């Protein structure tokens, strides 16, 4: 956190004594708190934020409440800690995918589709849903037709599962049990304990597979798009009909997906700089 604090101090000097929020607008305070939450590799509590930012505790608490209400961060009530929320994840990836950045990201996706000859997409987690931010169809006539902005259940798709696997365990546990998991095929995992076990395995191996869990006859694979500080920003996935793409075939494409995910993360990093 030292690097972050130094950057924040350079950006907005805080008085050394008295009311440390003096001179800061409401937007300044919200930005500082949001940047601090994002900078932590795991959910962070109010005491740590207060110590790092030097703002009054009640001010930070009020800002945290407002950010939670707007879905930019989420609060784990069991430990009273805060983490990046679904709206902020969507905003971050949508920014990367805007017209200012779309061309280089689409170029990466185009190269991957040409190499694996299957439809590819990248997206973000929104609660228990995986949302496509961009998607490029393969040239085969037999393919699944979905568009950017489409949402699919996270618990039974490769992109959704690989991102669920990278959520802090207490939050993941609460999220999975927040509602009944819907059954789509005979292969859909709907028991929280079994899903948790698979997500642990996915986190360890670094990729997820979808063995006809959402749609009969469709398999897929996905890898996380990891930022420089180790956070899963999104997922890069491929899928295709099982008549053409077996689970074994999908696994052979994991190295190509990983290379592309690193490229996408690099583009994101340059855009942020």
pLDDT tens digits along 93-120:
666 555 555 567 778 888 888 888 888 8
Residues 55 and 138 in one domain: no
Mean pLDDT of the chain: 81
* Share above pLDDT 70 across residues of the chain, in percent, rounded to a whole number: 81
Which of these three, 56, 84, 112, is where a domain ends?
84
Give the separation between CA 173 and CA 72, rounded to whole angstroms.
20
Give the separation between CA 222 and CA 226, rounded to whole angstroms.
13
Which of these three, 33, 56, 84, is where a domain ends?
84
Residues 245 and 157 in one domain: yes
Q: Which CATH number fits the domain that encloses residue 141?
A: 3.30.450.40
When mean pLDDT is compared over 141-155, 162-176, 189-203, 229-243, the highest value belongs to: 189-203
What pLDDT, on the 0 to 100 scale, is given for residue 189?
Answer: 93
CB atoms within 10 A of CB 18: 7
Residues 171 and 268 in one domain: yes
Which residues constitute the domain of residue 127? 88-272
List b or e across 142-172, with b for residues whose CB sees 16 or more CB atoms inside 10 angstroms.
ebbeeeeeeebbbbbbbbbbbbbbbbeeebb
Asked if the model's pLDDT at residue 145 lies above 70, the reply is no
Give the residue from 111, 121, 201 showing the smallest Cα distance to 157. Answer: 121
Give the residue from 232, 205, 200, 235 showing the smallest Cα distance to 220. Answer: 235
What pLDDT, on the 0 to 100 scale, is given for residue 103?
Answer: 66
List b or e across 191-213, with b for residues whose CB sees 16 or more CB atoms inside 10 angstroms.
ebeebbebbeebbeeebbbbebb
Residues 77 and 144 in one domain: no
pLDDT band per the 50, 70, 90 thresholds, residue 207: very high
Residues 161 and 230 in one domain: yes
Token digits of residue 186:
């005979």
Residues 93 and 221 in one domain: yes
* Share above pLDDT 90 across residues of the chain, in percent, rounded to a whole number: 32
Give the CA distances from residue 33 to residues 3, 30, 145, in Å, rounded to whole numbers and listed in that order. 15, 5, 40
Q: Which residue has the higher pLDDT, 1 or 254?
A: 254
pLDDT tens digits along 13-66:
333 334 455 577 888 888 899 888 887 778 888 888 998 888 899 999 999 989
Q: Which CATH number fits the domain that encloses residue 19?
A: 1.10.10.10
What pLDDT, on the 0 to 100 scale, is given for residue 123?
Answer: 85
What pLDDT, on the 0 to 100 scale, is given for residue 105?
Answer: 77
Give the CA distances from residue 65 to residues 44, 59, 187, 273, in Å, rounded to whole numbers and listed in that order. 14, 10, 40, 29
Residues 144 and 192 in one domain: yes
Which of these three, 84, 115, 142, is where a domain ends?
84
Residues 154 and 184 in one domain: yes
Residues 194 and 231 in one domain: yes
Residues 156 and 101 in one domain: yes
Give the separation between CA 163 and CA 93, rounded to whole angstroms.
14
Residues 113 and 40 in one domain: no
Is 27 buried (19+), middle (13-18) or exposed (0-12) by CB count in 10 A?
A: exposed
Split into its structural domains, the chain has a count of: 2
Residues 125 and 247 in one domain: yes
Q: Which residue has the higher pLDDT, 207 or 5?
A: 207
CB atoms within 10 A of CB 173: 15
Look up the pTM and report it. Answer: 0.65
């Amino acid at each position: 956190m030292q690097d972050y604090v130094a950057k924040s101090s350079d950006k907005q000097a805080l008085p050394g004594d008295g009311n440390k929020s003096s001179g800061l607008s409401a937007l300044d305070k919200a930005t500082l708190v949001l940047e601090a939450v994002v900078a932590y590799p795991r959910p962070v509590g109010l005491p740590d934020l207060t110590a790092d930012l030097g703002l009054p505790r009640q001010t930070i608490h009020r800002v945290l409440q407002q950010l939670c209400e707007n879905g930019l961060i989420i609060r784990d009530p069991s430990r009273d800690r805060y983490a990046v929320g679904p709206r902020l994840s969507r905003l971050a990836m949508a920014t990367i995918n805007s017209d200012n950045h779309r061309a280089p990201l689409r170029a990466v996706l185009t190269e991957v589709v040409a190499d694996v000859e299957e439809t590819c997409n990248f997206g973000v987690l929104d609660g228990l849903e995986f949302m496509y931010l961009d998607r490029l169809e393969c040239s085969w006539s037999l393919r699944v037709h979905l568009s950017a902005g489409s949402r699919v259940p996270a618990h039974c798709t490769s992109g959704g599962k690989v991102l669920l696997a990278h959520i802090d365990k207490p939050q993941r546990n609460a999220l999975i049990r927040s509602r009944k998991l819907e059954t789509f095929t005979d292969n859909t995992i709907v028991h929280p304990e079994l899903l948790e076990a698979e997500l642990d395995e996915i986190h360890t191996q670094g990729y997820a597979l979808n063995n006809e869990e959402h749609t009969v006859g469709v398999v897929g694979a996905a890898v996380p798009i990891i930022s420089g500080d180790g956070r899963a920003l999104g997922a890069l996935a491929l899928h295709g009909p099982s008549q053409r793409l077996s689970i074994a075939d999908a696994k052979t494409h994991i190295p190509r997906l990983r290379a592309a995910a690193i490229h996408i993360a690099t583009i994101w990093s340059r855009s942020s700089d």
